[in-house]
Amino acid sequence: PLLTPKLVARFGHARVIFGGLLVASLSYILFLPLAADWTYAAMFPGLLLLGVAFSLVYGPLTIVATDGIAEEEQGVAGGLLYTSFQFGAALGLSAVTAVNISATDGTSPAALLDGYRAALVVPLA
C-alpha cells in the first residue's frame, strides 16, 4: 500500500499493471536455473520480486475492473473479478502440474528439477 498508489498516481493503472506483470515474469525467470543445492537465501530474490509483482498488479486491477460501474453493482463486479482470479488460479495450477508431471522422467533430484523448470515456463506463456 505504500508504493503502488504513488506509482499509479504517476504512471496510471495500465502501466503499473503491465510493470507488475513484467516483474512477475522476471521473478519466474530467476527460478529457471533452480538447482538441488539452492538455499532459501538463493530463492529469496525471486520470491521477493513475485510479492512485489502481486502488490503492483492486484490493487490497480481491482480498481480498473470496478471503475465506471454503478455503486450498486460494485459487489457484482468485484465478485466477478475475484471469481475469475480463482478460475485462473485453478486452471493455471492444473496446467503447471500437467507440464511438471509430463516433463519429470524419474524420481532423481535432477529429473524432478527438470520437471520444475519446464513447469516454470507455463506462467510465462
- Reported pTM: 0.83
Residue 12 has what DSSP assignment?
-
Looking at 1-125, list the stretches that DSSP marks H as alpha helix, in order from N- to C-terminal side.
Answer: 4-11, 13-31, 40-66, 74-103, 109-121
List average pLDDT for each run of 10 residues in the chain, which is 125 residues long: 90 97 95 90 95 94 92 93 96 96 93 92 87
Q: What per-residue confidence (pLDDT) applies to 125? A: 80
Q: What per-residue confidence (pLDDT) applies to 1? A: 65
Q: Please give the residue range of the domain that contains residue 19.
A: 4-124
CA distances from 83 to 9, 26, 61, 89, 101 (A): 27, 26, 14, 10, 27
Contact 56/23 with Cβ under 8 angstroms?
Answer: yes
Number of domains in the chain: 1
Distance between CA atoms of residues 68 and 91, nearest Å: 29
Is the four-CA dihedral 103, 109, 110, 113 of positive or negative sign? positive
CA distances from 117 to 4, 7, 67, 84, 112 (A): 30, 32, 38, 26, 9
